[in-house]
Amino acid sequence: MFPLRVSDLRWHAAGRAVLDGLSLELGGEGITILLGPNGAGKSVFLRTLCGLLEPDAGHIDWGGAARPEFGVAMVFQQPKMLRDSLLGNVELALRPLKVPAAERQARARAVLERVGLLHRARDSARSLSGGERQRLALARAWVTRPRLLLLDEPTASLDPSSVEAIERIVREIRTEGTRILMTTHNLGQATRLADDVVFIDAGRVCEHAPVQRFFARPASPAARLYIQGELPWRMAF
Amino acid sequence: MNGLSLAFSEAFSLLAGFDHRVAEIVLLSLQVSGLAVLFGTLIGLPLGACLGVGRFPGRQVLVVLLNGCMGLPSVVVGVVVYLILSRSGPLGEFGLLYSATAMVIAQTFLVVPLMAAIARQVVEDAWRDYEEELTAMRFRWFDSVRVLLHDCRHSLMVAVLAGLGRAMSEVGAVMIVGGNIDRSTRVMTTAIALETSKGDLPLAIALGTVLLGVILLLNAVAYVLRQWATRRYA
Amino acid sequence: MANGVLKFLTSAVFSVTAMVSAAQAGESIVLASTTSTEQSGLFNFILPIFEKSSGIAVKVVALGTGQALDVGKRGDADVLLVHDRAAEDKFVAEGYGVERKDVMYNDFVLVGPAADAAGVKGAKDTADAFGRIAKKGSNWVSRGDRSGTHAAELRFWGSAGVDVKGQGWYKEAGAGMGPTLNMAAGMGAYTLADRGTWASFKNRQDLTIVYAGDPKLYNPYGVMLVNPARHPHVKKAAGEKFIAWITSPDGRRAISAYKIGNEQLFYPLSR
Ligand SMILES: Nc1ncnc2c1ncn2[C@@H]1O[C@H](COP(=O)(O)OP(=O)(O)OP(=O)(O)O)[C@@H](O)[C@H]1O
Ligand SMILES: [Mg+2]
């Protein structure tokens, strides 16, 4: 699957280019954070990666092979949960993989334990708080043991301790060898988690750099402005 | 003459006295309509769910057709099923006309479009919610249908109740294919029609009150079940 | 869970099959007859007697005579008991039925509002009575459903020399005897009814018999077996047994014994 090469991706909506020649190369290790202003096309890009959107032009090369059927999991900004127990929601993700029913429950319980929700396994998923819901969504993605995990703002509107819990889980997933591509507007989080940063503006990649270099010396003017705009907030953190 | 109060007092004495004949008729009504709704559930709900999820050419035409069929007059269904089951019809050799089976078949035809149309709406709304998640998890559309049917089970209860209401209260279809035969195919609605045509309006209203009572009871049970389920699954 | 559902389903289907077949355990025939006979209550009285002696259950489907003959033509009934002599003879002549036999007769009565605005009570015969209604233009409710009563009514209009087509006072109900009487009662209209249905009809309001007794108003019923040569599934033996019984002294006695109040509704016809 890796190296993942995205070249010149284009996607139009309502007569406007949302992805406007986006190119990117991702190696097989670590956490990459996608940064960029609202409406830059980050979510759309993640959607094309997990196959929900067909780009109008451009090409994605999955390490020289065909697009893998499984192995890419996505956590949406607003995850939807079935009217079922936590356990049922996690097991759901294993069904398309044809995991035997007996094994499904064991695997689901194991990941629920690791996201700290096992004691609520039988509760209704719809009764969870926002932070718990994000953890459940992570568990649901994690249980499939993806090679590539796409996270769309997994900590938006969470309190600091929930943010920390999510970050701990993300790191844990990564240590198991899962490649993580994640968007966030929390620059502190980016510095804490990222190995490298991809900065997107107006549907194209402006900059792709290791995290320290990106924050110390952003190369593109757009990235510099973006970081500066966020700076006061970052100091208060 | 105060026909209405007479009718209601007769209804109560009918209920209180537990008339054996009335009980038989009520039981047959429940069995025929219950089975029709059971088949409607097995056929109509998956059919509606497939229409709610699937995207294929001709789907919109089917949806309009289905919605239109909700208002199909029961007499028309009755005549069509009659012609099919008649000895001179394509399925005549089975000799099903004027039997409880014929009534179940006719009512199944009657409730399937109704239940499918409601299921389509319910499942389509849910699909809009879950489409990205399920697609990202690589669910095939048929498996999505199964997941959504299960997920919408409480809302789909409305479809089942609507089907039951329609089946229990229709008279045209069962009259034609059942023949309203005493002790064999007489159900509540055909009994009511018969008493009305005999001019025995109090008895007709009394039977109607019993019918209403049965339908209300079923709805109350469904309501309690649904309350319980929503508390359980938020 | 799927297993449980399956179990429930099979048991539900079985229980209904069991119930339905229990109801049809013994031998049974389908008798297509007219709403007027059914609603008079005659069958509820005589059929249990026949069922007891023969062990054959008779399932009555009540329709208009025309519909009943159609049902017979399609082979959906075993025996017909109807009242429209001309149509019955045609039915047998065309090979749909086996031999028509006389069973009984009742009579038609002219029913109308007690005030009798058309003065039918003084009519000298049936044709005169119908003529008076037409002349006055009083409201008339016709069955309009191709039943035996409808056919008889049209004959009477013909003998009175009245063309009812398009007349404002002439309303076609397109319904059975009972609903037609309900309509007539609601509108204060005249109508033709068979005595049986009239006697057991409860919602009379202002209606009363305004003319009856003319031999022309006699209404003979015939019985016939649907032709097994045309419809092999017809239950010939059981059907013939029923026909033999209803035309036998036992059957005749049963018919004579049926009364509402003190009024005998049907008179057996001896062959
Ligand atoms: N299905 C669609 N139809 C039309 N326009 C769309 C569609 N999806 C996305 N867009 C537009 O594409 C642009 C990029 O959207 P996207 O969701 O990728 O932004 P983003 O970078 O994730 O922003 P944010 O940080 O606010 O989440 C937006 O202007 C959005 O309105
Ligand atoms: Mg976004």
Per the CB < 8 Å rule, is C75 touching B87?
yes
The residue among B125, B134, B137, B157 with the most chain A CBs within 10 A of its CB, best to mutate, is B137
Rg (CA), chain C: 21
C13 lies in some domain: no
Counted across chains A and B, CB pairs separated by less than 8 A come out at 48
How much is the ipTM here? 0.90
C123 lies in some domain: yes
Non-local CB neighbours of A179 within 8 Å, separated by 6+ positions = A2, A26, A28, A29, A30, A32, A147, A148, A149
| Domain co-membership, C149 together with C197 | yes
C21 lies in some domain: no
Per the CB < 8 Å rule, is A95 touching B143?
yes
Which value, to the nearest 10 degrees, does the dihedral of the CA atoms of residues A97, A98, A100, A101 take?
80
> Which residue in C15, C94, C28 sits closest to C61, CA to CA?
C28
Apex CA A118: angle with CA A112 and CA A120, to 5°?
120
Last residue of a domain, one of C201, C217, C233: C217
Written as six digits, the tokens of C68 are: 């009943």
Q: How far off is chain B from C19, nearest CA to CA, in Å?
A: 9
Please give the Cα distance from B208 to A129 (Å, whole number). 50
State phi, psi for B210 to the nearest 5 degrees.
-60, -45
Q: What is the pLDDT of residues A15-71, one digit of tens each?
A: 999 999 999 999 888 999 999 999 999 999 999 999 999 999 999 999 888 788 889
C-beta contacts of A188-193 below 8 A and 24+ residues apart: A188/A234, A188/A237, A189/A33, A189/A155, A189/A163, A190/A33, A190/A35, A190/A215, A191/A215, A192/A167, A193/A31, A193/A33, A193/A167
> Which residue in C149, C196, C207, C201 sits closest to C178, CA to CA?
C201
3-state secondary structure of B22: helix
Written as six digits, the tokens of B170 are: 């229709």
Alpha helices in chain B (DSSP H): 3-16, 20-53, 59-69, 74-85, 100-136, 141-151, 153-169, 172-178, 188-197, 201-233
Please, which residues bridge with residue A6 across strands?
A24, A60
C5 lies in some domain: no
Q: What is the pLDDT of residues B180-199, one digit of tens each?
A: 998 889 999 999 998 888 88
Q: Which ligand has its closest atom nearest to the C-alpha of A39?
A: 1
The residue among A50, A54, A77, A82 with the most chain B CBs within 10 A of its CB, best to mutate, is A82
Alpha helices in chain C (DSSP H): 2-23, 35-40, 42-54, 65-74, 85-93, 126-136, 148-159, 177-187, 195-200, 236-246, 249-257
| Domain co-membership, C118 together with C198 | yes
Q: How many residues does chain C have?
A: 271
Q: Which ligand has its closest atom nearest to the C-alpha of A18?
A: 1
Q: Is A78 in the pocket of ligand 1 (CB under 6 A)?
A: no
Give the pLDDT score at C15. Answer: 54
Written as six digits, the tokens of A225 are: 């402005």
Q: Which residue has the tokens 């844990």?
A: A172
Rg (CA), chain B: 20
- Largest pairwise CA distance in chain B: 70
Q: Is A106 in the pocket of ligand 1 (CB under 6 A)?
A: no
> Which residue in C235, C260, C267, C258 sits closest to C42, CA to CA?
C258
DSSP calls for C144-205: -SS-HHHHHHHHHHHHTT---TT-TTEEE--S-HHHHHHHHHHHT-BEEEEHHHHHH----T
| Domain co-membership, C229 together with C183 | no
Q: Which residue has the tokens 């045309």?
A: C230
Q: Which ligand has its closest atom nearest to the C-alpha of A152?
A: 2
Residue B188 near residue B205, CB atoms below 8 Å: no
- For the ranges A78-92, B10-24, C229-243, the lowest mean pLDDT is seen at B10-24
| pLDDT at A226 exceeding the cut of 50 | yes
Of A80, A84, A96, the CB nearest to B138: A96
Is the previous residue joined to A3 through a cis bond, with omega within 30 degrees of 0?
Answer: yes
Residue C257's Cβ-side half-sphere holds a number of Cα atoms within 13 Å equal to 12
Give the pLDDT score at B1. Answer: 47
Please give the Cα distance from B206 to B158 (Å, whole number). 27
Non-local CB neighbours of B93 within 8 Å, separated by 6+ positions = C233
| Domain co-membership, C168 together with C207 | yes
Per-residue pLDDT of chain C (271 residues; tens, 9 = 90+): 445 555 555 555 555 555 554 445 578 999 999 988 888 889 999 999 999 999 999 999 998 888 999 999 999 999 999 999 999 999 999 999 999 999 999 999 999 999 999 999 999 999 999 999 999 999 999 998 888 899 999 999 999 999 998 899 999 998 888 899 999 999 999 999 999 889 888 889 999 999 999 999 999 999 999 999 999 999 999 999 999 999 999 999 999 999 988 888 899 986 5
Q: Would you place residue A235 in the very low, low, confident or very high pLDDT band (cuts 50, 70, 90)? A: very low
Is the CA virtual torsion A202, A204, A210, A213 positive or negative? negative
DSSP calls for B48-89: HHHHHH---TTHHHHHHHHHHHTT--HHHHHHHHHHHHSTTS
**Is C176 touching B (CB cutoff 8 A)?**
yes
Element (H, E) at B90: none
Written as six digits, the tokens of C65 are: 């005579």
| Domain co-membership, C97 together with C118 | no
For residues B38-67, give the mean pLDDT. Answer: 93
Work out which ligand 1 atom sits closest to the CA atom of A42.
Answer: 21
Q: Which amino acid is at B143?
A: D
Q: What is the CATH number of the domain that holds C122?
A: 3.40.190.10
Strands A204-210 and A57-62: unpaired
Please give the Cα distance from C210 to C119 (Å, whole number). 9
Name which residue sits closest to atom 12 of ligand 1, judged by CA: A18
Apex CA B103: angle with CA C177 and CA B34, to 5°?
125
How many CB atoms are closer than 10 A to CB B136? 21
| Domain co-membership, C231 together with C97 | yes
Inter-axis angle of helices B100-136 and B74-85, nearest 10: 110
Residue B161 near residue B112, CB atoms below 8 Å: no
| Domain co-membership, C60 together with C145 | no
**Is B59 touching A (CB cutoff 8 A)?**
no
Q: Which of residues 229-258 of C touch B (CB under 8 A)?
A: 231, 233
Please give the Cα distance from B175 to B189 (Å, whole number). 9
Which has more confidence, B211 or B234? Answer: B211
Measure A38 CA to ligand 2 centroid, in angstroms: 7
Which domains, ranges and CATH numbers included, belong to chain A? 4-80+146-230 (3.40.50.300)
Please give the Cα distance from C267 to C251 (Å, whole number). 11
Check residue C97 and report its DSSP letter. B
Give the pLDDT score at C134. Answer: 95
Written as six digits, the tokens of B2 are: 């105060």
Percent of chain A's residues with pLDDT above 90: 81
> Which residue in C211, C253, C208 sits closest to C110, CA to CA?
C211
Check residue C270 and report its DSSP letter. P
Per the CB < 8 Å rule, is B86 touching C74?
yes
Per the structure, the complete domain to which residue C247 belongs is given by 26-105+221-268
Name which residue sits closest to atom 17 of ligand 1, judged by CA: A43
Check residue A65 and report its DSSP letter. B
Give the pLDDT score at B171. Answer: 94
Provide the mean pLDDT of chain A.
Answer: 92
Residues of A in contact with B122 (CB under 8 A): none
Per the CB < 8 Å rule, is B133 touching A79?
yes
C260 lies in some domain: yes
| Domain co-membership, C123 together with C251 | no
Apex CA B142: angle with CA C9 and CA A97, to 5°?
105
| pLDDT at A231 exceeding the cut of 70 | no
Number of domain units in chain C: 2
Chains that touch B (3 or more CB pairs under 8 A): A, C
State phi, psi for C228 to the nearest 5 degrees.
-65, -20
Q: Which ligand has its closest atom nearest to the C-alpha of A44?
A: 1
- Largest pairwise CA distance in chain C: 79
Q: pTM to 2 decimals?
A: 0.85
Per the CB < 8 Å rule, is A124 touching B234?
yes
Q: What is the pLDDT of residues A120-139, one digit of tens each?
A: 999 999 889 999 999 999 99
Please, which residues bridge with residue A70 across strands?
none
| Domain co-membership, C168 together with C259 | no
Residue B110 near residue B72, CB atoms below 8 Å: yes
Q: How far off is chain B from C124, nearest CA to CA, in Å?
A: 31
| Domain co-membership, C95 together with C178 | no
Q: How far off is chain B from A209, nearest CA to CA, in Å?
A: 29
Of A69, A73, A126, the CB nearest to B234: A126
| Domain co-membership, C161 together with C237 | no
Name which residue sits closest to atom 11 of ligand 1, judged by CA: A18
| Domain co-membership, C209 together with C112 | yes
**Is A70 touching B (CB cutoff 8 A)?**
yes
| pLDDT at B32 exceeding the cut of 70 | yes
What CATH architecture is B2-227? Orthogonal Bundle (1.10)
**Is C181 touching B (CB cutoff 8 A)?**
yes
